[in-house]
């Protein structure tokens, strides 16, 4: 009886396992092999080059720029999204009129496609007729180039993605806030703790699991930034917004250097693994889980 149940179980999961193996594991293994080859997917000749692709990364100035841009973007995007999401979640965690509308509006940014998001921000930050420059003119600030400026374009993309991901952070924090036991907050108020002290001493520690989850999740997404760069700047101007995944895309699908692109992909994969492990180890010290 038990054997037949196991057999039936495997029969049900086998199609899913086969699909994952075919479309998931097979490309991963193939790209790992290509990272040690000179491969353009067009020529039948794929000579084995050992670690040449990885050594090339060390001397590639654009890879160095892409790493720098990726780190700057991650360092701004992750805490910015978490801080804004926490602020809005706290503001919405109360009984006020039209609260359902406000919560829906906050999450609506996650339902908007990246293409629409990019179009809106290109229009807002257009140097000639953008709304942002129009408001700047009211306060005497000269027109800015924004996405056309090597010193400003990356920060506009940071703002774009913070706006797009804040709704996700709001939902996570709002769920965590509603899970905080009210007796703890009431006891703090009875003991004379003010709103700020209650928030700092009780609310924030109890939100630490949600904060750790968001930090890890948003960091992984930040290091894989691609859509917004591709749609708004295509790595420009002057490679000012070229990040690792976009450079990987250029190498693979524009220069047809799939071996080198695979090496970059596995380098990024290793970096994400290391950063995630560090985040979990450090976060474990500051994360409070209620029993």
Question: What is the DSSP annotation of 32-53?
Answer: HHHTTB---SSSS---B-TTHH
- pLDDT of 200-214, one tens digit each? 888 898 999 999 999
> According to the model, what pLDDT value does residue 210 have?
94
What contacts 241, CB < 8 A, 6 or more positions away?
A: 69, 153, 154, 157, 229, 232, 233, 235
> According to the model, what pLDDT value does residue 1 have?
52
Share of the chain above pLDDT 70, in %: 98
Alpha-carbon dihedral sign for residues 56, 261, 237, 77: negative
Residue 290 phi/psi, 5° resolution? -75, 140
> According to the model, what pLDDT value does residue 11 have?
82
Q: Dig out the tokens for 231 from the structure.
A: 């749609």
- Please provide the average confidence, as pLDDT, over all residues in the chain: 89
- pLDDT of 98-155, one tens digit each? 777 777 777 777 778 888 889 999 999 999 889 999 999 999 999 999 999 999 999 9
> According to the model, what pLDDT value does residue 103 have?
75
> According to the model, what pLDDT value does residue 40 have?
87
Report how far residue 88's alpha carbon sits from residue 91's, in angstroms, rounded to the nearest whole number. 5
Q: Is the pLDDT of residue 2 over 80?
A: no
Mean pLDDT of the 260-281 span: 95
Residue 96: band (very low, low, confident or very high) from pLDDT cuts 50, 70, 90: confident
> According to the model, what pLDDT value does residue 233 have?
94
Q: Is the pLDDT of residue 291 over 60?
A: no
- What does pTM read for this prediction? 0.90
What contacts 234, CB < 8 A, 6 or more positions away?
A: 246
Mean pLDDT of the 243-263 span: 95
Q: Is the pLDDT of residue 259 over 90?
A: yes
> According to the model, what pLDDT value does residue 290 have?
62
> According to the model, what pLDDT value does residue 98 have?
77
- pLDDT of 174-228, one tens digit each? 989 988 888 888 888 887 878 888 888 888 989 999 999 999 999 999 999 999 9
Q: Dig out the tokens for 106 from the structure.
A: 């906050």
List domains and CATH numbers for the chain. 60-286 (1.10.3720.10)
What is the CB neighbour count within 10 angstroms for residue 272?
16
Report how far residue 268's alpha carbon sits from residue 266's, in angstroms, rounded to the nearest whole number. 5
Report how far residue 235's alpha carbon sits from residue 7's, in angstroms, rounded to the nearest whole number. 52
Q: Is the peptide bond before 69 cis (omega within 30 degrees of 0)?
A: no
- pLDDT of 18-73, one tens digit each? 888 778 788 888 888 999 999 888 888 889 998 999 999 999 999 999 999 999 99
> According to the model, what pLDDT value does residue 113 have?
84
Q: Is the pLDDT of residue 92 over 70?
A: yes
């Amino acid at each position: 009886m038990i054997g037949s149940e196991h057999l039936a179980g495997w029969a049900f999961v086998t199609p899913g396992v086969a699909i994952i193996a075919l479309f998931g594991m097979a490309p991963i293994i193939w790209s790992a092999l290509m990272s040690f080859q000179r491969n353009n997917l067009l020529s039948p000749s794929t000579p084995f080059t050992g670690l040449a692709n990885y050594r090339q990364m060390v001397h590639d100035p654009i890879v160095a720029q892409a790493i720098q841009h990726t780190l700057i973007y991650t360092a701004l995007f992750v805490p910015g999204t978490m801080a804004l999401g926490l602020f809005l979640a706290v503001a919405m965690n109360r009984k006020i009129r039209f609260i359902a509308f406000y919560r829906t509006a906050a999450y609506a940014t996650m339902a908007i496609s990246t293409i629409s998001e990019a179009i809106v921000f290109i229009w807002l930050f257009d140097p000639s007729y953008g709304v942002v420059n129009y408001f700047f003119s009211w306060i005497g600030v000269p027109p800015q180039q924004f996405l056309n400026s090597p010193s400003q374009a990356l920060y506009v993309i940071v703002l774009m993605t913070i706006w797009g991901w804040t709704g996700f952070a709001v939902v996570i924090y709002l769920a965590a806030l509603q899970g905080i036991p009210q007796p703890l907050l009431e006891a703090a108020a009875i003991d004379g703790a003010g709103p700020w002290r209650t928030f700092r001493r009780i609310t924030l520690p109890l939100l630490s699991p949600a904060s750790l989850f968001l930090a890890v999740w948003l960091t992984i997404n930040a290091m894989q930034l691609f859509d917004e760069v591709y749609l708004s700047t295509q790595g420009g101007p002057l490679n000012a917004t070229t990040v690792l995944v976009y450079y990987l895309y250029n190498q693979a699908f524009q220069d047809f250097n799939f071996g080198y692109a695979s090496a970059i992909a596995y380098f990024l994969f290793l970096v994400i693994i290391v950063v995630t492990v560090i985040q979990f180890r450090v976060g474990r010290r500051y994360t409070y889980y209620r029993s």
